């Protein structure tokens, strides 16, 4: 786990150099300071005529490298761009533009802005239209300007309302602001912890938001028996979760320990060390967190050696396959050798699993390894020699067109994709099942795709960067990290093997409408796709969150984005429609939201995304 980046929020800064030196002495990495003295007010024409001094301090006080790496600017707290008083509104707008212009001039890494004051919980959210408009203009005019909006987890009025029902209104105000700013990626959250925290589900929701900084007031720290500052158990849990999202931290307020701020920084670092280390076999996947990948086209393209190598490192998948093959061998009649075909053998991991299973089950085995990739065939043939696979026959060819008089007792494949059927396992196995003897066993025997609605500003904005509507009609393989799952995943499309129907009557088209119930309000950015597969009897593999095979990393979920984010409120029903469509040359998915609002049908006729047969 990387070292924490921790800064200090200063309110009044008599001398910038002294403040920066003091922060460094206390081991802070940066400071957040007002761009303009908090007591300075401006009229509609700029600085008040009674003030002859400059607007603020000179940029010559610090070298440019310090401005760009060690200083976060804070907008004036008195700004009210939606004030009913025209004079206040115009003065606020004038100051707002000048301060952001100054921040851009200095090259500051970010600017800390305030969210409007929350009224009494029984009242409506405050109007922020003018504020959002000015913010949007600035974000568009300067795309590299990063604005962090300070969002307290709970407002003062919420803290005073002991019997307040429902959820915190802070998120709703943030969501309204970013929606009016068109979900721009340079608008982020500086989440300020409060003494009381909202519900666990509301805390989980922040996982789907672009949190860049977490502000921790020193006043919310408790004092342990040894006199050192600590956080409550609930705060600790939340902070440790946020650390995993590589956010920056800021302390706010005076130090309440005789040793100054050092005990606070040491305590936060202690929380970092309490986070369990990532298992060695899973570390390779860290760079793939929230990294969008177009799914494989296994029938059209041949996999590369590196891809095979990655899949073969999975410690769970092949163990489960071995257990499934062993169980199947023990269920077959004991007389004579068993014929097993691995269709889509790759570089041979399933062949090895089958050979190990035969030793454990003490059954003689004849193996046919069928693979279309000529490069993988080279590896297979070399392995037959080097590992003395005397009972293995390597076949180069497509399983759908290979012709043989041999018939298998067991047919084994690993053609599953992130969504189960999205790498065309049904079409491949329907073509290969003619190799099975009557009553033969298919491993896997069935698999079901699953869907769940998700909120992820990060993933949605990463699709938006392409500036192409077709990209919003494409499904992506992604190791989801910065996201919130709005509701539990539900079963979608199911396939079983062998299929009892004649090949010419098998129809692998599917359509399903699913309903999801929201627990709290959220922004719907799309759907996560998973799968659960039964290899044999009770032996399964799954990437569905509620049945996930711990330690397995061969598959990341599939992300189906929505072209336009959608607000869903607490207790709303999200109704979605999903189609699996096919033609003689390709298979594709189409998706749409029906409730609470209607969207377009994404990827009609597969014109943006499809899998080639």
Please pick, among 414, 427, 473, 590, the residue that the annotation labels catalytic: 414
d(CA 426, CA 498): 10
Please pick, among 423, 427, 473, 590, the residue that the annotation labels catalytic: 423
d(CA 374, CA 302): 8
d(CA 412, CA 124): 60
22 is annotated as an active-site residue: no
Please name which of 488, 366, 343 lies closest in space to residue 425, comparing C-alpha atoms. 343
400, 589 contact by CB (below 8 A): no
Q: Nearest 5°: phi and psi at 330?
A: -70, -25
Angle at 559 between CA 556 and CA 562, to 5 degrees: 170
Output b/e per residue, 117-147; b: 16+ Cβ within 10 A.
ebeeeeeeebebeebbebbbebbeeeeebbb
Looking only at the bridges linking them, the beta strands covering 539-542 and 522-536 are antiparallel
> Which tokens go with 272?
């970092």
d(CA 1, CA 243): 9
> Which tokens go with 490?
């539900």
Identify the sign of the CA torsion 413, 414, 419, 421: negative
Instruction: Evaluate the omega torsion of the peptide bond into residue 610 and state whether it is cis, within 30 degrees of 0.
Output: no
414 is annotated as an active-site residue: yes
Give me the residue label for tokens 């969504």: 419
d(CA 184, CA 464): 10
Angle at 289 between CA 284 and CA 294, to 5 degrees: 95
188, 211 contact by CB (below 8 A): yes
d(CA 149, CA 74): 10
Active site amino acids: 414, 423
């Amino acid at each position: 786990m990387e070292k924490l980046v921790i800064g200090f929020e200063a309110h009044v800064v008599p001398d910038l150099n002294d403040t920066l030196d003091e922060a460094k002495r206390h081991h802070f990495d940066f400071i957040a300071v007002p761009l303009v003295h908090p007591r300075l007010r401006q009229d509609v024409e700029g600085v008040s005529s009674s003030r002859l001094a400059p607007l603020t301090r000179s940029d010559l006080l610090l070298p440019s490298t310090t401005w760009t790496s060690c200083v976060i600017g804070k907008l004036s707290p008195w700004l009210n761009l939606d004030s009913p008083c025209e004079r206040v509104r115009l003065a606020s707008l004038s100051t707002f533009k000048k301060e952001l212009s100054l921040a851009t001039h200095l090259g500051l890494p970010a600017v800390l802005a305030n969210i409007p004051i929350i009224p009494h919980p029984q009242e409506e959210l405050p109007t922020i239209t003018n504020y959002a408009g000015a913010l949007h203009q600035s974000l568009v005019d300067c795309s590299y300007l990063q604005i962090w909006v300070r969002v307290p987890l709970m407002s003062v009025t919420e803290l005073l309302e002991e019997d307040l029902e429902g959820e915190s209104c802070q998120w709703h105000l943030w969501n309204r602001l970013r929606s009016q700013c068109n979900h721009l990626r340079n608008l982020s959250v500086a989440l300020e912890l409060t003494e009381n925290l909202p519900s666990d589900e509301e805390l989980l929701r922040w996982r789907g938001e672009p949190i860049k900084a977490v502000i921790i007031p020193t006043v919310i720290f408790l004092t342990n028996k040894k006199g050192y500052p600590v956080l409550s158990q609930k705060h600790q849990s939340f902070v440790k979760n946020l650390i995993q999202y590589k956010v920056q931290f800021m302390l706010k307020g005076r130090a309440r320990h005789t040793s100054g701020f050092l005990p606070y920084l040491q305590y936060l670092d202690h929380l970092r060390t309490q986070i369990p280390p990532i298992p060695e076999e899973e570390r390779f996947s860290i760079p793939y967190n929230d990294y969008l990948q177009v799914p494989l086209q296994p029938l059209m393209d041949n996999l590369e050696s590196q891809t095979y190598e990655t899949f073969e490192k999975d410690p769970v998948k092949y163990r489960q396959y071995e257990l499934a093959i062993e169980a199947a061998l023990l269920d077959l009649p004991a007389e004579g050798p068993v014929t097993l075909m691995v269709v889509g053998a790759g570089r041979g991991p399933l062949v090895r699993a089958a050979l190990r299973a035969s030793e454990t089950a003490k059954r003689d085995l004849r193996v046919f390894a069928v693979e279309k990739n000529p490069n993988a065939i080279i590896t297979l043939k070399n392995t037959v020699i080097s590992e003395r696979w005397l009972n293995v026959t390597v076949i180069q060819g497509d399983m759908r067109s290979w012709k043989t008089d041999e018939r298998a007792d067991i047919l084994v494949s690993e053609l599953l994709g992130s969504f189960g059927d999205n790498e065309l396992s049904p079409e491949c196995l329907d073509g290969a099942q003619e190799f099975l003897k009557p009553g033969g066993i298919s491993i896997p025997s069935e698999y079901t795709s699953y869907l769940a609605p998700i909120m992820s500003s990060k993933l949605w904005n990463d699709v938006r960067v392409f500036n192409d509507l077709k990209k919003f009609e494409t499904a992506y393989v992604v190791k989801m990290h910065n996201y919130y799952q709005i509701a539990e995943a539900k079963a979608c499309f199911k396939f079983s093997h062998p299929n009892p129907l004649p090949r010419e009557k098998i129809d692998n088209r599917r359509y399903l409408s699913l309903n999801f119930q929201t627990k709290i309000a959220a922004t719907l950015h799309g759907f996560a796709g998973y799968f659960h597969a039964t290899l044999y009897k009770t032996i399964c593999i799954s990437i569905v969150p509620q049945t996930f095979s711990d330690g397995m990393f061969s598959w990341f979920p599939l992300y189906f984005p929505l072209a336009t984010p959608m607000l869903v409120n607490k207790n709303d029903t999200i109704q979605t429609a999903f189609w699996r469509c096919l033609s003689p040359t390709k298979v594709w998915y189409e998706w749409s939201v029906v409730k609470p609002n209607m969207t377009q049908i994404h990827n009609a006729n597969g014109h943006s995304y499809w899998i080639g047969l």
